[in-house]
């Protein structure tokens, strides 16, 4: 019996906002808190919660600093984060192809 | 603000298409393609008076009849100008990246650009003393490859890859074709105004490309925080 691709989805990564954070961090390499907040249309509190979950899972690192007098928070994807994102995308593609095959199957 | 606005649902198809959309948005925000194109257009146009008002050497082989014309000032102007240009481009991208809050992919471009510029200058210096016997053969191609225009074009290919920018890839291929298959077929007359034509043509391609990208990327610029 083959394993259903939905079982391969990691709850930490599969959550839609966290998947968005990982995607942006992957493309950007290093991304600022306000950029994530604006692009994901989140409140600061909500974004902080999701960043906390990803940091605890070791998928991102958070670095706080200053640019002039402005406090800045930078997010960087870890190696584990890159792997988790790649696996999530692969599982999603697999899931879609299985749904499509089931939709075209006779009976 | 609602989370739902950015992510309509957990449907895998939608999640995947939203992921692609977000990745494309970040790439567009990272691009500043117009800046290096305008810098190199400026350098190309500025090289015309450097060549015009500096001394020239004309070395000819008797058999076959092949002449090479070169200017000492260009061997000083181009390596310095190219290295300074890459430093300025990297500084511009980093400054812009800090203002926007999104990382930049300029490092491989700047490093590759400097390496290519130095390497092709070395090859060009060697070729001055070893001119190609058959200008339109493989050696002739190598002769054009060891030129400032080719150094700019090859590095732009790296930028097109780093920025995942198909429009820049197409422009760069057209530009490299203009450099490698010059309107004079490489046999530039030593007297003005013939030798300025390739520089004017190549500079114009870069300038028009830079203006085009500036216009195309302008609406995507968000105000600095």
Nearest to A41 among B1, B12, B222 (CB): B1
Please tell me the distance in Å from B45's CA to the nearest CA on chain A.
34
In a domain, A105, yes or no: no
Distance of alpha carbon B51 from alpha carbon B40, whole angstroms:
16
> Which range is least confidently modeled, A39-53, B64-78, B93-107, B149-163?
B64-78
A103 within a domain of the structure (yes/no): no
Could you report the per-residue pLDDT of B121-130, keeping only the tens digit for each? Answer: 888 788 777 7
Q: What percent of chain A has pLDDT over 70?
A: 87
* B111-B115-B116 Cα angle (round to 5): 115
Count of structural domains within chain A: 1
Task: Give the model's pLDDT for residue B76.
Answer: 85
Tell me how far apart the alpha carbons of residues A45 and B139 are, in angstroms, rounded to a whole number: 64
With a threshold of 0.90, tell me whether the complex ipTM lies above it. no
Question: Given an 8 Å threshold on Cβ–Cβ distance, is A20 in contact with B22?
Answer: yes
Compute the CA torsion angle A35, A37, A38, A42 (nearest 10 deg). 170
Shortest alpha-carbon distance between residue B104 and chain A (Å)? 7
Inspect the interface and report whether the beta carbons of A43 and B13 lie closer than 8 Å: no
Going from N- to C-terminal start, the domains of chain B cover 71-225
CA distance B91 to B88: 5
The token duo for A11 is 């709850």
Q: Which structural domain, as residue segments, surrounds residue A80? A: 5-94
Residue A107 lies in a domain: no
Residue A81's pLDDT band, with cuts at 50, 70 and 90, is very high
* pLDDT tens for each residue of A2-12: 555 556 567 78
pTM over 0.80, yes/no: no
Report the pLDDT value the prediction gives residue B4, as an integer from 0 to 100. 42
pLDDT value of position B195: 66
Q: Inform me whether the C-beta atom of residue B94 falls under 8 Å from chain A C-beta atoms.
A: no
* B209 CA: distance to closest CA in chain A (Å): 25
Specify the CATH number for the domain of residue A38. Answer: 1.10.10.10
Name the 3-class secondary structure at A70. Answer: strand
Mapped onto helix, strand or coil, the DSSP state of residue B223 is: coil
Q: Which H/E stretch holds residue B35?
A: helix B34-52
């Amino acid at each position: 019996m083959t394993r259903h691709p939905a079982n391969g989805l990691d709850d930490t990564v599969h959550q839609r906002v966290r998947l968005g954070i990982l995607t942006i961090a992957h493309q950007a390499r290093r991304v600022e808190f306000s950029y994530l907040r604006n692009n994901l249309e989140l409140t600061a509190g909500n974004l902080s919660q999701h960043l906390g979950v990803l940091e605890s899972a070791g998928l991102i690192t958070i670095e706080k600093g200053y640019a002039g007098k402005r406090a800045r928070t930078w997010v960087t994807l870890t190696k584990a984060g890159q792997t988790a994102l790649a696996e999530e995308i692969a599982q999603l593609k697999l899931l879609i192809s299985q749904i499509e095959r089931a939709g075209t199957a006779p009976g | 603000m609602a989370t739902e606005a950015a992510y309509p649902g957990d449907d895998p198809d939608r999640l995947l298409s939203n992921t692609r959309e977000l990745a494309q948005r970040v790439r567009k925000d990272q691009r500043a393609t117009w800046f290096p194109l305008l810098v190199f257009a400026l350098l190309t146009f500025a090289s015309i008076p450097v060549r015009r008002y500096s001394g020239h050497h004309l070395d000819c082989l008797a058999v076959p009849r092949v002449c090479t014309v070169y200017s000492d000032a260009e061997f000083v102007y181009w390596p310095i100008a190219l290295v300074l240009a890459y430093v300025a481009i990297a500084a511009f991208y980093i400054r812009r990246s800090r203002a926007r809050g999104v990382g930049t992919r300029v490092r491989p471009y700047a490093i590759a650009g400097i390496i290519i510029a130095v390497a092709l200058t070395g090859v060009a210096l060697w070729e001055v003393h070893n001119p190609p016997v058959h200008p339109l053969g493989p050696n002739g191609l190598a002769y054009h490859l060891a030129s400032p225009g080719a150094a700019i074009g090859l590095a732009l290919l790296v930028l097109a890859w780093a920025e995942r920018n198909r429009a820049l890839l197409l422009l760069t291929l057209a530009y490299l074709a203009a450099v490698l298959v010059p309107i004079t077929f490489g046999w530039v007359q030593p007297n003005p105004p013939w030798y300025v034509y390739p520089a004017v043509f190549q500079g114009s391609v870069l300038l028009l490309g830079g203006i085009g990208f500036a216009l195309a990327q302008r609406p995507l610029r968000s105000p600095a925080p």
